[in-house]
Chain A
Amino acid sequence: MTSSCSPEKVSAGPGASAVSKDAGLAALRRHIAVLEQRSPGPANPVDLPRPWRIGVAALDGALPADRGPEPASAGLALGGVHEAAGASPADRPAALAFLAALLARLGRHGPVAVCQGPGSIARLGRLYGPGWRDLGADPADLVIVETRHERDALWAMEESLRSGAAVAVLGETEQLAFVASRRLALAARESGTPLLLLRGDGLAPASAALSRWRVAAWPGSASPFDEAAPGLPRWRLELTRCRGGRPVTCIVEWNRETGHFDMATALADRPAASRTAVRRPALERAAG
């Protein structure tokens, strides 16, 4: 609180040297850091953000380290919005499955509010409890909110976040303006409840999410019991933006029995390099 730096001091006139400019910038950064940390945390100390680890070293390493009691541990912050979108519209179920797997890894039992608008249900079907169970998550935890308008779904997400009744909120939205995403991010931070947001409009528009994932289905291995049958689901995860972290891409396999992500060992013969090259600008923007 003490390092409040007035902007006048920074812009010290036209004759300011490069050194003082750097110092001014550093002071401003400190000031912003103070402002950002001043946000009220969750009321209950038990709920203090404990890092929510993905369990794959390559991914966890790219996530921001927790500034809490264990500075070494890194993971997804609980009080924030984490967005996922399919790399293409057909990959949207994969993105949903990835979020469901993240929920299964949350390690906290309690109600999970699922808020959906009408668009995705009409196009991609309803959530199916048995399939949810087969992915390793408990469908009995789900409190499903189906709304008649997309904007009601956003309202329901915000309401669920603010109430603090749910251990996590899973939202699905067709379109999200930056202001709305900022509202959701604030609500998530104030309550310390994570919001996992599945976006139907891709990751192109700006957003206030802490991390943004682009998920694509990836050819999987065969089932160990049957050569011809599909085995464990495999996804290509691309962390395109992460506050305090760095972008990373990797291919993981979700094992519902153990509740772990594993790095996929054998990669299929797909030109992964060309896909990343296309998205280079996005990566640079996120990094900078």
Chain B
Amino acid sequence: MFEPLDPLLHSQLRLAVMSLLMNVEVAEFNYIKEKTNATAGNLSVQVNKLKDAGYIAVEKSYKDNYPLTTCKITETGINAFEAYLNALRSYIKPT
């Protein structure tokens, strides 16, 4: 039986952002942009979608007088990611 995949995570860039944040504590927006090879505009849209779903927390501050955006995965995000992985497993399990 195939489990439904979370549509919010079943998207290339959003899944990449979540996978990255699962592996770190906090990451700057530019770090995520560099690692995912995404454009700033697209990444910003996807980050906002994840934020609205409560999967990540976004904090805006300043570093050396420049605006700084940092992202961090939330408890809800970790649970959603784990559920997504479990759903993926149901697709690759030998039948």
Same complex for A and B? Answer no
- B residues at A contact (CB < 8 Å): none
Could you tell me which A residues sit within 8 Å of B by CB distance?
Answer: none
